[in-house]
Chain A
């Protein structure tokens, strides 16, 4: 019998690690994709994915089911990424390495449009961090500007400006 997700969530809230692992298995791909696209860095993305799930475990009690568990988890992930990225940018003005196509390719997936998709992933990864983050949140993940402002602490106007800039840079990169 398939476990009911809300039952899984309840059990995890009561400290059941096996239930939490099932939630992890169900959501890790989405959380990791978000971390990877936001950071364009495989190692950072793996660390942040782990941080996000540890934070989720700690905060499970505050999940009350007004929203879907998945949207709660992805918002928490964005928070974790932005806290972590801000800290790491303070520590070292690291240049983001983006030439890691293996990380962004998924061998064996589709064929017809796969080339265009990989080009787009690479071009997104090559964007400056601020533009990339807003593009991923708005155009890939579907957040609205006011939500992005709330999640990341930037102004709505800045979110729009970064999005338009990202799209301009992407159109240039993809038309080459």
Chain B
């Protein structure tokens, strides 16, 4: 079985992003870029499945600028076998991303697709569900545990508001990862060298998806969130309780 992992290059999660003064976007010049943390977990899960002998190839794919090659190389240094870059100078929105990924699926015929539940830049949380829909296959979103149970069946534990929900899906399927699914491995220097020789296929988005359907949502403006008012520091529990009582928050 082949596993396809879809990843995205995003501003590193440790960076506190700033809105540009003219409201046209957020400042990304010179900012550290990384694999979306949820996608890193997706890569790790695919590798573990392969290491258990349940898959024989892990292919990573991304849609993005040419710079995204860096993130694909990192994924291959982690252990992915090969990579596909669907090159696009413009940001793609989830519905278009899902259409591109469906084309890649048609080409690659994976038995399982794993991807992060959301990218921490746009926080959309849509692409995996849309992909599963267009592909007409099951989805198991927000996964914190993935187990193979019998032929072609996956049992997935999902992190939901009420606790942990378990569902059973038939393969092929799309799994979207939550943070507690695993802890991604660190890449070692020799693996980075090895990854340089692994195949990385670059395709133009217009060739992969000549006729995208649907329209993009227009972004009119970026702004900084309203800052909270500056608070106060107290010295003692008595002072704290007085304030809480004053505000009517405790009796």
The answer to whether A binds B is no
* B residues apposed to A, CB below 8 Å: none
